[in-house]
Chain A
Amino acid sequence: MKGAPTAAAAGPAGLRQFLVRFPFLPALCILIVLLALNGIFEPRSLSFRSLTGIVSTYLALMMLAVAQTYVVYAGDIDLSVGAIVSLVNVAIVALLQQMGGGGLTVLAVLGIGLAVGLACGIVNGLVVAWLRLQAIVATFATSILFTGLALWIMPVAGTPAPAAVWRTYGGRILEIPFVFWAVAALALVLAILARTRLTTQLLAVGDDAVRAYQSGLPVTRIRIRGYALCGVFAALAAFCVTGDTASGDPLVGAKMTLSSVAAVVLGGCALSGGVGTVTGSVLAAVIIGLINSLVYFVGTPSEWQNLVQGLAIIVALMAGVLVTRWARS
């Protein structure tokens, strides 16, 4: 949020300024190293086909990391994002099952899905910012609520999504896989959002809520908007999950919540708020995907894979925190 320093300045001071200006750089470096390692251990893993596979599997986590980022910008946290993913996933699958899978119907249902995500986000925002409950426990409580709603809509997993949904998600438009179009659209939306007043306001609130309030910002409303935006992106993540798994599952998102927090930190955001970029979070989501595939490609025995992934992620998290702090010291 500082003015543009000259990146050309030599020495560690210049590097630091550069890192402050582009906090996602450590994540980018890790990403490149991981891509290289993946290529070394399994050249085929860098083929267009397998990269498409990684993107379509981890697009949901990218979306969810973006969702979490907007909340973390303001110094809040949302432990219910995974539950929102589950709720939107079962809501759209159940609606599609009832209304059929025609083109316009699908669009209408996706609209409803976005509305559900938005509503969940607003509930979180009201509970945390307006009622002033502690974000960690309050969003844990709403996550139970949202999971209950998801179970109410669909008590057991397994309802299939109409073919149109997964054919589109796994298909190609103009010879380019759909997921890459989705990534391009995401990049465009994020670029626009980064230039809006809301992003600046969220970062200002996260940097120092009291000062933001004293300089006339409607802090409560801004935080609620952050949560609302988070809900919308969680709904988008749910669309990706639905496209990828082609079915409804009332618990599908539960495991994604903590990964989204890890991705946000890995991407260079400070959990205390005020610092970070959505770019970093998106890159970090891909990093988590690449770590998982690398662990597989180096031939780790299957029972050791989770442990090695866990170790790699904790090391990456620590490295990210240390580099970011060094840059800002």
Chain B
Amino acid sequence: MTATDRTPPPPVDLARRNGYFDPPPRMGFFTDTSVCIGCKACEVACKEWNHVPEDGLDLLGMSMDNTGMLGANSWRHVAFVEQRRPGTAGPEEQTLAVEARLRAAPRGGSELGTTPLPTAPGGAVADLGMPTVGRPGDGTGAETRTDFRWLMESDVCKHCTEAGCLDVCPTGALFRTEFGTVVVQQDICNGCGYCVSGCPYGVIDRRPHDGRAQKCTLCYDRLKGGLTPACAKACPTESIQFGPLDELRERADRRLAELHGQGVAEAELYGRDPDDGVGGHGSLFLLLDVPEVYGLPPAPVVPTRSAPQIWRRVGAAAAAFALAGIGAFASAAFGDHP
């Protein structure tokens, strides 16, 4: 499916749905990875503005990436993907070295999120039977390429239309702003951690020292003051663009068509589709390969999407049990007597 034959999505006035009377347009990011130069200015600007602390002075060896992943102390993360030339078997030990580093790296996250896995006696990372993580991009997408390729992508909170973190927050600390973004209120968060498992992208995480959940606020304070978010402001190549989501979607469609026209057939938009598992993103991405290559889930679904169905089934089951119980009593009461 190309951008041009999409039907425009129905306007989702998220803020109005959330009780705002005269909200501004829904705002978001469009991250065009085709012009990202991997300078990480977004990571630094975000941390400076939002007072996000340093996230470990550890070398991960994932190409130029020493941040590793989004977490409580990294609200922007630039992924670097080195895609080997077909036919040149890259060193397998490299993948293993990175994997070990990544698992053991000290991180500013909690046990539910990005904290290192417990180590077994002797310092080795305990095997919990989890699937191993290779370097993003290894062994994928090489079929059509003839050259080495180095992809860069600045990842961030998706500000989903159906936000799993928000849905499961029991305290109301997570809320939908008038800009349609999703923000944690630090003074209300009780650190329960439900949101961490509620996010299908692994974005939100808790800081260990106070246990409170942390993630990108899309610079809510700056938006309130009419300013561009820090990362988009710092991006030198306009890889990170900020604006009303409707405009960004149009821009993203145009850029995609342009790249397809230039023969970059594998380019695709991520989070553009309002019918996807999270109702579409508030932050869109233009990717140059399939999402898995960048370490993004290909078809994420908000866990709470099935909640009504679950509750219906739970209700049905309860009713069935109730009936069965009644039946049993009835049977006991009215059963045949010997």
A binds B: no
